[in-house]
Chain A
Amino acid sequence: MTIVPQSFLSLQDLTKAFGKVIAVDKVSLHIEKGKFFALLGPSGCGKTTTLRLVAGLEKPSSGRIFIDGRDVTALPPQKRDVAMVFQDYALYPHMTLRQNIGYPLKVRGFPKKSIATRVEEVAEHLMIADILDRLPSQVSGGQQQRAAVARAIVHAPKIFLFDEPLSNLDAKLRLEARAFLKHLQKELGITTVYVTHDQAEAMAMADEIGVMFAGRVVQVGSPLELYRYPKNRDVAAFIGNPPMNILPGRLEPKAGGSQFSGEGYTLFFESIHVLEDTRAYLGFRPEQAQLMCDLKDSGIPAQLYAVQPLGSEVLITLLVGTETVYVKLYSESLPALPDLVRVKVDPSRLYLFDSTGACIKVPK
């Protein structure tokens, strides 16, 4: 007997293998109704495959999918009542935008008149009403994207699926589209799964993020949770702009705690206890570090590599041994820095990861 889950969209132990490649590995996700869920991960980690499993475009090797309390694992795509926006938008090239947007209604057998009204209504909403009679090749990328979204919302689906819908837009349009999509999603209240490899996009748009690596969902949480309490080194090194600095070193037991020794510095951690000398990694966020010019100061010795002013802040690249470290300073003026500096981080802001990469200390 299977237990029907409470969440609106549930994936249970979903696995998909392509021959020997396991693209999706026992993924379980539970997404509440009306939530904006982002699936985040590097290229090739199985995000698209997961989305296609939900859409019904791929058959799972094992596991089940529930939508609104109904097991849809065996249903073909056309019966799942979901909508998907593809990365290349997949607007039918031989149909005008009007025909494109009306297509989901047409195949559902709606009368012509109500299709026309509904298409006008949606197009009005997405501000593409004046270009409805053009072919997809005759409108801009941003307009194509809106048309693809219009086609997805026209029949009020149960679930929205997005596969990197912004990656074909230029930087400025992308920012606009982010706000537009987030606003639209909140307004319509449609449960959304949004696939992206851009952590900034996921952080900015999602209510909840699932981070995927090599076919597995490693951590699920709100953007802030992922930022503050990454479960492991991979998540920490993926989230943040720039992501967390991670430095290798060794952790050894000392009276009353343990000591981390890195390239030319040691740090003492009171609350951490290890049994023996092991490999470990120190982590800290670029925006939580400070630079000390006085070499007598304690801190991590580092060599200045580059200084990039970004307007309201300055991004500084440093080398600690052979590792690259970023520090973000909130200042408009360029600081005058010597070649050798020390990086100082409030001990409570430090992260520690053990030899397997699991997080063993987070900020208080």
Chain B
Amino acid sequence: MDVKAIFYKIIFVIFVVLITSFFLLPILWLVAAPFSAQATLRVTIPSVVTVKNFCAIFRNTFAVRALFLNSILIAGGTMFGVTLFATLAAYAISRLNIRGRDIFAYLLVLFSSVVTGTAAMVPVFLLLYYLKLIDSYLGVIFVLIGGLLPTGIFLMRDFVESLPKSYEESALVSGAHPWQVFRDVAIPILRPGMMVLAVWAFVQAWGDFLIPLIVIRSPSKMPAPVAIYSFYTEGGTPVLTLISAYSLLYAIPVVILYLLVNWRYGFRFFGGIKGGGK
């Protein structure tokens, strides 16, 4: 190897290291800070590893409940609703020959941002108020489903469309009722796509701050993104040790869910479900 090549190689490695550390730093902080007694915004390897921060969090029943009950309920409910309705809708849109269905699908996505967007907050609030859904999990879940469904349908449509029609037709000719075809043939083959959609919906709902902040009134129903504000001092400064520990706990369910689905189905966002769910 000549000098020039070595030089370029060194430059390249430095470049990669810089980029990587830029993205790695926050993650390192998230892993290191919770175990330190005096966390700052710097990444420091704690001299004494402590679990005191976690103990403090587990003593805060409000925060624990927010994370392990409220957040799970809201994200789980949204995940379930989005997956169910998006699959049904995508299947219908893809299988029925409606004129202009492609335009319909694109319009859906376009308008999806409106539902959960800031501009719609007043009408959404009023709507929930009249439906008596203010301060209920269901209220949050409905708004989140409404916001995620169009994109979900769009994602799911791609999976449905890559499923050859001959499977369903063959089942129909075999004597199966359309709902049997859907249950026995379409759903199992679409399952990897539904899993991707489910994780996506879960993550979206898990991280949402604005909707629960507006809809939920009583502290006992607040999910984690809102509850994290209880780790601010009365003066409004964040208690970094607790926030980092809470954030770490907050990240774990998502990571586990992702790993689970990835291990079982592998993440593929577009098409490519030919091999089926095994």
Contact = CB atoms under 8 A, between A and B. Distances in A.
A191 B174 CA distance: 16
B170 A90 contact: yes
Chain B interface: which size bin? 20 to 34
Interface in B164-187: 164, 166-167, 169-177, 180, 184-185
A57 interface: yes
B117 interface: no
Contacts of B100: none
Given A86-B166, A103-B184, A57 B173 contact: yes
Interface in A69-113: 76-78, 80-84, 86-88, 90, 92-95, 103-104, 107-108
B169 A77 contact: yes
Given A94-B277, A107-B177, A78 B167 contact: no
B179 to A, nearest CB: 11
Contact of B166 (A76, A82, A90, A95): A90
Nearest to B185: A92
B274 interface: yes
A90 B164 contact: yes
B39 interface: no
B26 interface: no
Given A107-B176, A107-B180, A57 B169 contact: yes
Nearest to A81: B175
B174 A107 contact: yes
Contacts of A328: none
A334 B4 CA distance: 68
The SS class assigned to the B binding surface is: helix
A55 B189 contact: no
Given A88-B164, A90-B164, A82 B185 contact: no
Given A77-B169, A86-B169, A88-B164, A94 B175 contact: no
B59 interface: no
Interface in B233-278: 274-278
Given A94-B188, A107-B180, A56 B173 contact: yes
A102 B189 CA distance: 18
Given A103-B184, A107-B180, A90 B167 contact: yes
Given A84-B170, A90-B169, A93-B189, A78 B278 contact: no
Interface string A229-261: 000000000000000000000000000000000
A114 interface: no
Nearest to B170: A90
Contacts of B274: 93
B177 to A, nearest CB: 6
B176 A78 contact: yes
Interface string A121-141: 000000000000001010000
A81 to B, nearest CB: 7
Given A92-B189, A93-B274, A83 B174 contact: yes
B173 A77 contact: yes
Given A78-B177, A107-B177, A107-B180, A94 B276 contact: yes
B173 A78 contact: yes
Interface string B66-100: 00000000000000000000000000000000000
A104 B181 CA distance: 11
Nearest to A84: B173
Contacts of B173: 55-57, 77-78, 80, 82-84, 161
A76 B275 CA distance: 29
A197 to B, nearest CB: 18
A87 B170 CA distance: 11
Contacts of A342: none
A86 B172 CA distance: 12
B277 to A, nearest CB: 5
Nearest to A76: B172
A92 B174 contact: no
A361 interface: no
Contacts of A161: 173
Contacts of B169: 55, 57, 77, 84, 86, 90
Contacts of B276: 93-94, 135, 137
A151 interface: yes
A47 interface: no
B167 A103 contact: no
A155 B184 CA distance: 18
A55 B189 CA distance: 24
A29 to B, nearest CB: 19
B190 to A, nearest CB: 10
A358 B254 CA distance: 73
B275 A137 contact: yes
Residue of B175, B177, B184 ringed by the most chain A CB atoms within 10 A: B175
Contact of B172 (A78, A81, A92, A135): A78
A95 B176 CA distance: 15
Nearest to A152: B174
A160 to B, nearest CB: 11
A93 B175 contact: no
A78 B178 CA distance: 9
A137 B189 CA distance: 14
Contacts of B176: 78, 103-104, 107
A56 B178 CA distance: 13
26 contacts: A55-B173, A57-B172, A57-B173, A76-B172, A78-B173, A78-B177, A80-B173, A81-B175, A83-B173, A83-B174, A84-B169, A86-B166, A86-B170, A88-B164, A90-B167, A92-B170, A92-B185, A93-B167, A93-B275, A103-B174, A103-B184, A107-B175, A107-B176, A107-B177, A137-B276, A155-B175
Interface of A: 55-57, 76-78, 80-84, 86-88, 90, 92-95, 103-104, 107-108, 135, 137, 151, 155, 161
List of 4 A-B pairs having minimum Cβ-Cβ separation, nearest first: A93-B276, A90-B170, A90-B166, A104-B174
